[in-house]
């Protein structure tokens, strides 16, 4: 029984049904009076929160810690967990299903990591993903409990530790603290633990499994997929940290020491890649930092992870294509390997469709939402909306404060964006992964002038 059986004969439909079912159940539960501390929550707000949790986005129209009761917070926690597990399981199954298309070397590496590709059953794959997820979340919960218990009652510290550990590893960005993690901006240990969980969740099961196999079991090598994920993650985090630190050196990090300032700059680079937590107010960042944040939100995390965006490897392949074309090479090369033409075309298609969706939904949101008074705009009407749209599409959860002021129609637009950004891109990749139809007519090639 192959891993692809987990996706079934119509994987795109099953994925949509899975997430829609979870969203509907979450909406019903969050609409109950017992879920709220202030009476019944409106249907649109319940739908928004449920979608944001299942799609592990983190955008909120209500204060998770104040407006939701303990029951409501537990519902949100479970929705995040089911959403994160569903994403990791389905995308991992998709990556494993690509094994027959890989080179013999990469296929052998994955086979050594996960077992013979013919013996990878959907049950064993699901168990492995759940085991890895719970292991990281348990480690995070224990460490965060030790850190939170210094300033909170034991029971509250325990709940907050579990909630934030799950939310961080699933890259959800939901927090029971009204200011997210701003009160911990000076606590390097808290920042480090959250960063560890977010990065590991953003790498994906395949990468974690290969690293474990190589470092602990002393078996196998790293596949090209793993090398690309690790190298691109490193470049984005290091480059992002340096850029954020110098862009806000005299602004957001002005009153912080060098260590604390670098830690917060590093966390901004981490969280912008689909996590959604924040240690500094996003509205207070410079224009340069906001542009960098939007770029990172668009790129996102790695395939097979809980993170969103167009994915780091997609962005990396397009950059490698441009670089190799600039050098006059026909092949797209990385780590002494050539990336298949099929992978390159999929990457270009995903980015083009992503840009089209962002532009279309941005225009729709600009039309739907009436322009607020000048003092309500943080970085201009266009900038605030663009930031919100990219954050929703990349399932990030960062906001300049616009989310809570949206009208119902604006909330519906953001709900659609979160769903499309999470489920839409995944089904798109599945569609592009289908083999070409037999009997397709192929015409004579003819060059077209470009540029």
pLDDT in tens, 196-239: 999 999 998 888 988 988 877 777 778 888 899 999 999 999 99
Return the DSSP state at 424. Answer: I
Give the pairing of strands 337-339 and 332-334. Answer: antiparallel
- Give the chain's mean pLDDT: 85
pLDDT at 374: 53
- The domain containing residue 98 runs over which residues? 3-433
pLDDT at 100: 53
Q: Which residues of the chain have pLDDT under 70?
A: 1-13, 91-123, 371-379, 426, 428-440, 451
Max CA pair span of the chain: 73
**CA gyration radius, the chain:** 22
Q: Which two tokens stand for residue 85?
A: 């597990």
Taking the C-alpha atoms of residue 264 and residue 255, their distance in angstroms, rounded to an integer, is 12
- Sequence-distant (≥ 6) Cβ neighbours of residue 382 within 8 angstroms: 366
**Residue 102 included in any domain:** yes
**Residue 446 included in any domain:** no
Domain count, the chain: 1
**Residue 441 included in any domain:** no
**Residue 440 included in any domain:** no
pLDDT at 105: 54
**Residue 411 included in any domain:** yes
**Residue 337, φ and ψ in degrees, nearest 5:** -130, 150
**Residue 442 included in any domain:** no
**Residue 232, φ and ψ in degrees, nearest 5:** -65, -40
pLDDT at 151: 87
pLDDT at 7: 53
* pTM reported for the whole predicted model: 0.89
pLDDT at 433: 59
**Residue 194 included in any domain:** yes
pLDDT at 171: 93
**Residue 445 included in any domain:** no
pLDDT at 117: 46
- Tell the residue number behind the tokens 């670089």, with chain if given: 323
């Amino acid at each position: 029984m192959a891993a692809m059986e987990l996706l079934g004969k119509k994987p795109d439909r099953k994925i949509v049904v899975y997430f829609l079912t979870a969203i509907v159940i979450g909406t019903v539960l969050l609409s109950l009076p017992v879920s709220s501390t202030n009476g019944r929550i409106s249907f649109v707000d319940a739908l928004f929160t449920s979608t944001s949790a299942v799609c592990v986005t983190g955008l909120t129209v209500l204060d998770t810690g104040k407006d939701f009761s303990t029951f409501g917070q537990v519902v949100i926690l479970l929705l995040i967990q089911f959403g994160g597990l569903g994403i990791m399981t389905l995308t991992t199954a998709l990556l494993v299903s690509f094994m027959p298309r890989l080179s013999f070397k990469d296929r052998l590496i994955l086979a050594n990591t996960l077992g013979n590709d013919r013996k990878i059953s959907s049950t064993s794959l699901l168990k492995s993903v759940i085991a890895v997820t719970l292991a990281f979340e348990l480690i995070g919960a224990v460490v965060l409990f030790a850190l939170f218990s210094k300033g909170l009652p034991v029971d509250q510290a325990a709940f907050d530790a579990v909630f934030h550990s799950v939310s961080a590893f699933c890259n959800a960005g939901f927090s029971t603290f009204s200011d997210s993690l701003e009160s911990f901006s000076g606590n390097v240990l808290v920042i480090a633990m959250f960063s560890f969980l977010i990065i590991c969740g953003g790498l994906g099961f395949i990468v974690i499994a290969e690293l474990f196999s190589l470092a602990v079991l002393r078996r196998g090598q790293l596949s090209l997929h793993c090398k690309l994920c690790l190298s691109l993650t490193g470049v984005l985090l290091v480059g992002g940290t340096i850029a954020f630190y110098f862009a806000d050196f005299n602004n957001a990090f002005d009153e912080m020491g060098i260590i604390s300032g670098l830690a917060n700059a590093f966390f901004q680079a981490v969280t912008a890649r689909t996590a959604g937590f924040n240690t500094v107010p996003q509205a207070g960042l410079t224009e340069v930092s906001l542009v960098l944040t939007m770029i990172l939100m668009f790129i996102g995390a790695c395939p097979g992870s809980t993170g969103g965006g167009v994915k780091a490897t997609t962005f990396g392949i397009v950059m490698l294509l441009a670089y190799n074309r600039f050098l006059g090479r026909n092949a797209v090369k990385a780590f002494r390997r050539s990336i298949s033409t099929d992978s390159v075309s999929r990457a270009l298609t995903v980015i083009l469709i992503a840009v089209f969706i962002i532009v279309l939904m941005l225009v729709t949101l600009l039309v739907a939402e009436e322009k607020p008074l000048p003092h309500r705009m943080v970085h201009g009407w266009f900038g605030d909306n663009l930031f919100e749209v990219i954050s929703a599409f990349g399932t990030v959860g960062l906001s300049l404060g616009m989310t809570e002021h949206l009208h119902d129609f604006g909330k519906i637009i953001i709900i659609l964006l979160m769903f499309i950004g999470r489920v839409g891109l995944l089904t798109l990749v599945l569609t592009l992964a289908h083999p070409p139809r037999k009997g397709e007519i192929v015409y004579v090639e003819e060059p077209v002038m470009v540029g």
